[in-house]
Amino acid sequence: MARQTWHMFTLITIIFTILSLAGDVFSSTAAPWYENLPAVTMDYKVHIDAGKEDCYYQFVQPGATFYASYQVLKGGDGMCGFAVRHPNGQIVHPYEWRQSAEYADQTSSGGYYAVCLDNQFSRFAGKLVNLYLSVIRYDMWEKYAKEVEELDMNIKNFTNSIQFVERNINDILQFQYHSRAKESRDYNLLVDNNTYVLRWSLLQIIAVAATGTLQVYFLRKLFEVKDNSSKTRI
């Protein structure tokens, strides 16, 4: 029983080890879904304690435009330090104790930028800071614009096809309408002719029967013999 429990514990340990290693590999290789978008903007409101420094990291694709800015909203003298570190480790924007500042890199070489907010000069007051970061890939926008143009062309082609089909359908509907109208006209004409023939046929039958009856009557009158025998008087 103890041996079986030990084997079970060993198996569970191996499974958790494999899962942890896989998670580390996945977390180290997988990038956030938004990093491949043509434009990413992030707006933070962060609180920096007195005598502290907070750094935030933003990944930038090669050739993209990186922009960072901050503004102290409230706290103490309303100022704090702001610095930007390039992915190669160089400080591209040195520390400045100001209320607001900004930094822009129009053609980035790519990598993780570090944006640091420093409140070390303030010993007692914390600061509420609005931090804005944006990454724009204009090449992706051009690509999307071309795709939209191609999509627009495809939509135009599809629209033209739909219009062509619609015109044909309208022609077919018009032809069917005229065919139904002709059929209805011919049917009504047939019904009227049938009624006309039946009516005149009945009238002619009545006329022939009446004529025959009159002829028989007059023939019988013609050959009728009257009894003219005189009475003898005594």
One DSSP character per residue, 128-169 reads EEEEEEEEE-HHHHHHHHHHHHHHHHHHHHHHHHHHHHHHHH
Q: Is residue 176 part of a domain?
A: no
Q: Is residue 91 part of a domain?
A: yes
pLDDT of residue 101: 85
Q: What is the pTM of this model?
A: 0.49
Nearest to 72 by CA among 92, 93, 46: 46
CA 76 to chain centre: 50
Domain CATH for 96: 2.60.120.680
Residue-number span of the structural domain to which 147 is assigned: 39-161
Q: Is residue 122 part of a domain?
A: yes
* Residues 6 or more apart in contact with residue 137 via CB below 8 angstroms: 37, 38, 39, 61, 63, 64, 65
Q: Is residue 132 part of a domain?
A: yes
Q: CA-CA distance, 41 to 165, in Å (whole number)?
A: 45
Provide φ and ψ at 38, rounded to 5°: -70, -25
Q: pLDDT (tens digit, 9 = 90+) per residue, 141-184?
A: 667 667 666 666 666 666 677 667 766 776 786 777 667 777 77
Q: Is residue 151 part of a domain?
A: yes
Q: pLDDT (tens digit, 9 = 90+) per residue, 62-112?
A: 888 888 888 888 888 888 888 999 998 888 888 888 888 889 888 888 889
Q: How many domains does the chain have?
A: 1
Q: Give the residues across from 54 on adjacent strands.
A: 117
pLDDT of residue 234: 47
